[in-house]
Structure 1
Amino acid sequence: MQFTLHTIFPEMLRSDWNALLEESVSHVPFLRYEYLYSWWQTRGGGEWPVDSDLVIVTATQDGRLAGIAPLFRANHAGRKALMLIGSIEVSDYLDFIVRPVDLDDFLAGLLPFLAQEVPDWQALDLYNLLDSSPSLTALQRAAAGQGWRFAAQQLEHSPYIPLPGDWETYLASIDKKQRHEIRRKMRRAEEAAVPIDWSITTDPAALETDMETFLALMSQDPEKETFLTPAMRQHMRNTMCCAFEEGCLQLAFLNIDGKRAAGYLNFHYIDRLWIYNSGLDRSFSEYSPGWVLLGDLLKWANENGIREFDFMRGDEEYKYRFGSVDRFVMRATLVREEIANEAVLKPDALCKAAGSGRG
């Protein structure tokens, strides 16, 4: 493989980038060219300083794009690190972009290339790889080949619901008490004295207003209000606009008597619904708007060919009450020089879901 270093986003590779992602070891929306480019404009909503450096490495083989390492250089955990673009807080799943068949060759060539061509770094510090990603074991093999130290650390729960494609079959698969609660609350909404329905934003002319409405709903939660700094608000707007333009935004609202009572920001990407964030107007709590909208979304997903309802990072109790299966995201660290074990594996505050405004 022939490797090339890019210090700006390679616009000429945009279509090839996304085409490779479709065949990659991890086909997730957070690795699309458009999302990562948008993330970089605000450095993840202000999570990273503006003077961070792009270190995007592409590999070609026989004239075709074979792999992408979307990295940037930053000071993290007490050392100079190369990290995946999108790290850490607002991009739930990250990885290298490479076909499974090319993974070992790509990493075996990537590590010495980074050591020789990229100055002034000590470690690869890679967050939010799914525990099922083949990159984890491939990185361990590649690190051993270079004599580097490798460590893997479990970060967060990332539950999901496998969907059967039928609403009643789904309900029958979850706990009886929870099934009763879902039906009771949805029926109460249907029989309410005021009109209650739900909608998805599809009109480009309504997008700006609906984005602001959603952010206002998020802000009613004190933790999320703190999370939504001006830079983070801009990141959220950029993400929603980007997803809308790419046809994968699902901005859903529960409407009670003509007012927005709850909202979910999701991505409808490939055959999954990726549940990214939510907001709630607590003045409508008597109608259980969050639960009702979540029930409507699950029913819609079962009826529209969605194979998986992915809650992504966070172990909030309600996710499991709706029938979630557990999995985890991981942190993989490859260190070039001797660093104490506690520094390699030291958990840091950026990993904690409590500060992410999620849920």
Structure 2
Amino acid sequence: MQVWRQVFGAGYEMFIRTVREGDKIIGVAPLMIKDNNAYFIGNTDVCDYQDFVVAPGREKDFFNILLDDLKKNDIKTLDLKHVRPDSTVMTSLAVVAEVRGCKTVKTQEAVSYEMDLPSTFNEYLESLTTKQRHEVRRKLRRLTEEGNIEYRFIDKGPALDATMDTFFRMFVESRQDKAAFLTERMKDYFRLLVDTMSGIGLLKLGVLELDKKPVAEILCFDYNDCIYLYNSGYDPQYVSLSAGLLSKVLAIKDSIEKGKKKFDFLKGAEPYKSHLGGKEVPLYRSQVTL
């Protein structure tokens, strides 16, 4: 949130509200205002899904206080995207808003993919369809036959900057739409995000190397029992070896070995996500007219 505000926040008024009861925080609303409309801080280009932070059981109190505050500040619309079906926006805000007589509109605009992780990589492979299990094993075998394979994660230190330079190159070369996406401003955002997440111990920048040469990289965040796949890139010279796909497979393998419980592919309907076992989660835009 702070990183997005620093790079992209011009033109918006930050509207961050913390609701307290005594010394206890009931909830936090990370919002921004433009033209009398309120939005989550961020945008859908770089934020996969978002939500309010609310203490369990206090959702009704929190949203009533928030909606009162928004109305007092002459906010006309609360326009929130994207949100999961299990978000407080969908499970609580919509109910509170309707009770208050506010018009609410829910529109599915995207999908995300995630999966629960088993205790072993073999169990994971067995959970795939017969075809996909065969494909993953075949591709892994072919890659290892090409030379010495190393898959490692960089989370801090001087190597991070150089690794990000390689990541940017692969990101641009691997897909035409990614090349258009990665403007200089977006590079600034990624670098600041990586530095920030590294500083609080949430960064996992995975590097797949073939004979000491990086052939794919994957940018993940490690929070609690879940690994979040934020973005990735690969060297097109190694497309025949499925370097991009296998960097994700090896990230899943590492997550299982580290005892993680969930792997979140985040937003996007790329076919590889379901091929690797991801289950679709709808993402919505929720609009509340105050």
Displacement of 1:211 in angstroms is: 1.2
User: For residues 230-268 of structure 1, what are the alpha-carbon distances to aligned partners after superposition, in whole Å with 9 as ceiling and x for unaligned?
Assistant: 111111111111111111111011112322111100111
- 1:332 equivalent among 270, 286, 289: 286
- The answer on 1:83 being equivalent to 2:42 is no
Residue 316 in structure 1 maps to residue 270 in structure 2: yes
Q: How far apart, CA to CA, are the structure 1 residues paired with 2:152 and 2:23?
A: 46
Compared with structure 1, are the counterparts of its residues 175 and 214 closer, same or farther at alpha carbon in structure 2 (3 Å cutoff)? same
The letter for the 2-side match of 1:81 is N
Amino acid at match of 1:114: L
> Which residue matches 1:167?
121
State the partner residue of 1:209.
162
User: What is the aligned partner in structure 2 of residue 196 from structure 1?
Assistant: 149
Q: TM-score if structure 1 supplies the norm length?
A: 0.78
How far has the Cα of 1:182 moved from its partner?
A: 0.7
Q: Secondary structure at the match of 2:248?
A: helix
- Would you say the 8 A contact 1:81–1:122 is kept in 2? yes
Query: How big is the shift at 1:63?
Result: 1.9
1:124 partner amino acid: L
Structure 2: distance between partners of 1:100 and 1:205 = 41
Aligned residue among 97, 101, 117 for 2:53: 97
Identity, % of aligned positions: 31
C-alpha RMSD over aligned residues = 1.4
Query: Given the alignment of the two structures, is residue 301 of structure 1 paired with residue 255 of structure 2, yes or no?
Result: yes
2:20 maps to amino acid: T
User: Number of matched residues?
Assistant: 289
With normalisation by structure 2, the TM-score equals: 0.95
Deviation at 1:203, TM superposition (A): 4.5
Other structure's SS at 1:188 match:
helix
1:124-143 → structure 2 map (5 Å cutoff): 124-143=78-97
In 1, distance between residues paired with 2:44 and 2:239?
Answer: 32
CA contact (8 A) 2:50 2:82 kept: yes
Letter matched to residue 92 of structure 1: D
Q: Which runs of 5+ in 2 are unaligned?
A: none
- Describe the shift of the 1:124–1:202 C-alpha distance in structure 2 as closer, same or farther (beyond 3 A): closer
Counterpart pick for 2:136 among 175, 178, 182: 182
Please give the residue correspondences for 1:229-244 in structure 2 after superposition, counting only pairs within 5 Å.
229-244=183-198
Cα drift, residue 54 of structure 1? 0.5
Cα offset for 1:137? Answer: 3.3
Task: Assess if the C-alpha contact under 8 Å between 2:209 and 2:215 holds in 1.
Answer: yes
Gaps of 5+ in 1: 1-35, 337-359
- The worse-fitting range, judged by mean Cα deviation, of 140-149 and 308-317 is 140-149
The one-letter code sitting in structure 2 at the alignment partner of 1:131 is: P
Distance in 2 separating the partners of 1:231 and 1:322 = 32
Normalized per residue, the structure richer in strand is 2
Task: Say if 2:172 is the partner of 1:219.
Answer: yes
Which residue of 2 is the match for residue 37 of structure 1? 2
